[in-house]
Chain A
Amino acid sequence: DADVTQTPRNRITKTGKRIMLECSQTKGHDRMYWYRQDPGLGLRLIYYSFDVKDINKGEISDGYSVSRQAQAKFSLSLESAIPNQTALYFCATSDPRGSNTEAFFGQGTRLTVV
């Protein structure tokens, strides 16, 4: 079983619809992140959370919201999806203990907004 699990893996939705992408992890990490990947742009940070009560905007948070329901769960919502939110979305976790800042990624959710 994957340590970081994203659902759904693929989703097609219509413009204006609300959609939620879910992420759960079994790594026991406090820190969780949502990134989106677009061709030629690498991964960009949308939101991040250092614990259940801590939510922070990343580089491209407009049009998105998040909820940290528990240490292991971090969901990303698009309140009113638009076509330029078509992308590959990744959830990631990291462990602040020790000196490593390596991020562990889920398998990704490919979202298409039509």
Chain B
Amino acid sequence: EDKVVQSPLSLVVHEGDTVTLNCSYEVTNFRSLLWYKQEKKAPTFLFMLTSSGIEKKSGRLSSILDKKELFSILNITATQTGDSAVYLCARNHGSSNTGKLIFGQGTTLQVKP
């Protein structure tokens, strides 16, 4: 089945904690996997991963893709209250550049002061 599954569905941590969000998928032939952050309305782009084992970093956020084990993780170190959001994982539909995305359910992260 063509699904993207995220875990955990929700998470509550305190400022300064490190969190790891998981994203697993079921097909091997796709172009890229993407992570988005959704705070109030529009998802905003975080990372695009196309190659296995190459970490992408942006400040306290990092992400990596494992195409052999069919998963990706998003790490957030030294969390802040501003990191509270829904984090969405999505992969492209198929190997061609259609721009169609298949999303996971999202992980709701709450960072308490």
**In the complex, are the beta carbons of B103 and A101 less than 8 A apart?**
no
Total interface residues on B, using CB and 8 Å?
Answer: 26
**In the complex, are the beta carbons of B41 and A107 less than 8 A apart?**
yes
**In the complex, are the beta carbons of A102 and B34 less than 8 A apart?**
yes
**In the complex, are the beta carbons of B103 and A44 less than 8 A apart?**
yes
**In the complex, are the beta carbons of A103 and B101 less than 8 A apart?**
yes
Given contacts A106-B42, A108-B41, contact A101 B106 (CB under 8 A): no
Binds A, one of B11-19, B65-73, B76-84, B92-100: B92-100
Total interface residues on A, using CB and 8 Å?
Answer: 27
**Does any Cβ of B come within 8 Å of A74's Cβ?**
no
Q: Which of A42, A48, A107, A108 contacts B103 (CB 8 A)?
A: A42
Using Cβ atoms and an 8 Å threshold, which residues of chain A touch B92? 101
**Does any Cβ of A come within 8 Å of B88's Cβ?**
yes
Tell me if A's interface is mostly helix, strand, loop or mixed.
strand
**In the complex, are the beta carbons of B99 and A94 less than 8 A apart?**
yes
**In the complex, are the beta carbons of B48 and A100 less than 8 A apart?**
yes
How far does the alpha carbon of A27 sit from the alpha carbon of B100 in the complex, in Å? 18
Using Cβ atoms and an 8 Å threshold, which residues of chain B touch A58? 100
Extra A-B contacts (14), CB below 8 Å, given A42-B103, A107-B41:
A4-B42, A33-B99, A35-B103, A40-B105, A43-B43, A43-B101, A44-B103, A45-B100, A96-B99, A101-B48, A103-B45, A105-B43, A106-B42, A107-B42
Q: A: which residues have CB within 8 A of B?
A: 4, 31, 33, 35, 40-45, 48, 50, 58, 88, 90, 94, 96, 99-108
Q: List 18 A-B contacts (CB under 8 A).
A: A31-B99, A33-B99, A33-B100, A35-B103, A42-B103, A42-B106, A43-B88, A43-B90, A43-B101, A45-B101, A50-B98, A90-B42, A100-B48, A101-B92, A101-B99, A105-B43, A105-B44, A108-B42
